[in-house]
C-alpha cells in the first residue's frame, strides 16, 4: 500500500492549550503521533512511502473561506509566537468587511485549542496536499487503496469555521476533487464526530457522509453528531450518524460499521474516503470506547468488503504507545 506523506511535521507543535484554563498539556496533536505511525509502517515491506505533490492554492482556498486568514496570521507571527482568539462574535455581531485580517480569530475559529503559529499554514496546506495526492492516485486508477498520513487532522474544519486541532478539511477537499469523476462516500471513524465534514456536504446529494463516534451528549463537539441529523434540502437522507455509548467494544462497533456498509452499497459511490481516527482505542486518554489494538484489523476487513477505490485520511489518536500499531492493523485489514 502506498503511504503519502509531506512536510516537516515538527514545524507545527503548539505548547499551550486553553481549555478550562491555560496549561501546557500532554494530550494534544503532537508531531510524535506521525512519527510512531511512520515507524510502525516502515518496518513492514507491504507499505511504500511517497512524497505528496504540490497542488494549486485555489483548490484549498475555494472551499475554505478562512484560508487567507490562516495564511496572513501565520505570516504576521514571530517564530515562537502562538495566536489564540479571545473574542467569538455571536449572532447579531457587526462583522467587519476585511474578514481575512490577522488576529480576528474568533470570526473563523470555534475554540482556543487550535492556535496559529508561524508555520501552521505551511503544515496545514501540506496535510491537504497529502490527501489530494492520494485522491488523484485513486481517481486516475493508479492505486486501489491509498493511505494519506495527514497532520493536522481535518474533520472538525468546516465551510464556515475551523477548530478542534483542524485547520483545513483534508477529507472534504479530497472529496471535492473526486466528485469530478463520480459520487463519494465519506466514513468518519474517529472517536469525535466529523462535524466539519458533515457540514460541507449537508446539502450535497452526491456525497454521503457517515460518522461513528462517542455520543455528543457528553463528548466533543457536543452540538453535532446526533442520529436525527440526516442532511438538508435535496440531500436529505445522505447523512448518517452512529453515536455510541461509553464502553463500546468491538461487537457493538462492528454492528455499527455493518449498518453503514449497507447504506454505502445502496448509495453505490465511485469512491470511498475514510477519516481514520484511532482515539477509539481503550487506552486513548480522551476517548471512552474499549476497542483493542487487534480489533482494527477486523474493522479494516469490513471496509475492504466494499471493494471500491479507497482513500484513508489520518485523523485523531492520542496514545502514541499504541497509535502506530492501530493504524497498521487497520490498513492491513483494508489491504
* pLDDT of amino acid 27: 54
Per-residue pLDDT of the chain (335 residues; tens, 9 = 90+): 999 998 766 778 776 666 656 665 555 788 899 999 999 999 899 999 999 999 999 999 999 999 999 999 999 999 889 998 888 887 777 776 666 666 678 889 999 889 999 999 999 999 999 999 999 999 999 999 999 999 999 999 999 999 999 999 999 999 999 999 999 999 999 999 999 999 999 999 999 999 999 999 999 999 999 999 999 999 999 999 999 999 999 999 999 999 999 999 999 999 999 999 999 999 999 999 999 999 999 999 999 999 999 999 999 999 999 999 999 999 999 99
Q: Which pLDDT value is given to residue 212?
A: 98
DSSP string, 116-171: B-TTHHHHHHHHHHHHHHHHHHHHTTS-SEEEE--SS--TT--SS-BBTTBSS-HH
156 is an active site residue = yes
pLDDT for residue 102: 66
Q: Is there a contact between 145 and 310 (Cβ–Cβ < 8 Å)? A: yes
- Do 138 and 310 touch, CB atoms closer than 8 A? yes
Q: Which domains are seen in the chain, by residue range?
A: 2-11+22-56+130-334 (3.40.800.20)
Q: How many residues does the chain have?
A: 335
Catalytic residue among 12, 156, 192, 240: 156
Amino acid at each position: 500500500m502506498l503511504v503519502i506523506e509531506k512536510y516537516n511535521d515538527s514545524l507545527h507543535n503548539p505548547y499551550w492549550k486553553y481549555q478550562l484554563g491555560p496549561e501546557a498539556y500532554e494530550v494534544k496533536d503532537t508531531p510524535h503521533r506521525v512519527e510512531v505511525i511512520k515507524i510502525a509502517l516502515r518496518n513492514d515491506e507491504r507499505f511504500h512511502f511517497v512524497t505528496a505533490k504540490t497542488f494549486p492554492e485555489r483548490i484549498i482556498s475555494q472551499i475554505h473561506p478562512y484560508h487567507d486568514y490562516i495564511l496572513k496570521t501565520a505570516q504576521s507571527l514571530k517564530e515562537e509566537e502562538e495566536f489564540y482568539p479571545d473574542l467569538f462574535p455571536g449572532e447579531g455581531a457587526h462583522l467587519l468587511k476585511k474578514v481575512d485580517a490577522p488576529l480576528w480569530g474568533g470570526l473563523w475559529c470555534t475554540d482556543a485549542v487550535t492556535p496559529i503559529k508561524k508555520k501552521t499554514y505551511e503544515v496545514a496546506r501540506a496535510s491537504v496536499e497529502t490527501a489530494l495526492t492520494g485522491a488523484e492516485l485513486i481517481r486516475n486508477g493508479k492505486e486501489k487503496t491509498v493511505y494519506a498520513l495527514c497532520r493536522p487532522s481535518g474533520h472538525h474544519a468546516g465551510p464556515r469555521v475551523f477548530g478542534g486541532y483542524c485547520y483545513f478539511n483534508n477529507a472534504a477537499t479530497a472529496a471535492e476533487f473526486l466528485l469530478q469523476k463520480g459520487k463519494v462516500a465519506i466514513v468518519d471513524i474517529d472517536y469525535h464526530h466529523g462535524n466539519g465534514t458533515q457540514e460541507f456536504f449537508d446539502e450535497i446529494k452526491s456525497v454521503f457522509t457517515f460518522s461513528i463516534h462517542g455520543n455528543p451528549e457528553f463528548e466533543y463537539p457536543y452540538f453535532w453528531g446526533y442520529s436525527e441529523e440526516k442532511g438538508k434540502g435535496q440531500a436529505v437522507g445522505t447523512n448518517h450518524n452512529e453515536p455510541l455509548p461509553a464502553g463500546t467494544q468491538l461487537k457493538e462497533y462492528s454492528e455499527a460499521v455493518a449498518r453503514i456498509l449497507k447504506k454505502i452499497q445502496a448509495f453505490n459511490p465511485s469512491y470511498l474516503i475514510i477519516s481514520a481516527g484511532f482515539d477509539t482505542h481503550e487506552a486513548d486518554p480522551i476517548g471512552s470506547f474499549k476497542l483493542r489494538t487487534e480489533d482494527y484489523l477486523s474493522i479494516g476487513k469490513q471496509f475492504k468488503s466494499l471493494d471500491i477505490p479507497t482513500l484513508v485520511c489520518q485523523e485523531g489518536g492520542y496514545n502514541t504507545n499504541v497509535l502506530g500499531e492501530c493504524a497498521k492493523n487497520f490498513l492491513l485489514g483494508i489491504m
